[in-house]
Amino acid sequence: MTEDDKIALKEFLIGAAVAIGITVVFLVIIFASGVISVSDTKLKSSAEVVDTYKGCDIVRWTNHQFAEYKYFLYCEKNK
């Protein structure tokens, strides 16, 4: 490794360290200001009866943070 290579490597590592440092400071400022909040609450699911079919309830279920619904039949007694 020549002396020029050592100088180039040193400059590259310093630049990478500065870029990482700026990114970390930016993220700390964002989280500290509350723009993005990290919560410890788990996703809550919701289920509601939307209709009936042959004596069974049709239940619509979703996680609140997803725009996706799933449907299933719920029968208390299978006849």
Q: What Cα–Cα distance (Å) separates residue 59 from each residue in 17, 27, 44, 68?
A: 53, 41, 16, 14
Task: Quote the CA–CA distance of 28 and 36 in Å, as a whole number.
Answer: 10
- Consecutive sets of 10 residues in the chain, 79 residues long: mean pLDDT of each? 93 97 92 66 72 89 78 79
Instruction: Name the 3-class secondary structure at 17.
Output: helix
Task: Quote the CA–CA distance of 12 and 41 in Å, as a whole number.
Answer: 42
Kindly report the pTM of this predicted structure.
0.42
Half-sphere exposure of 49 (CA within 13 A, CB side): 8
pLDDT at 13: 97
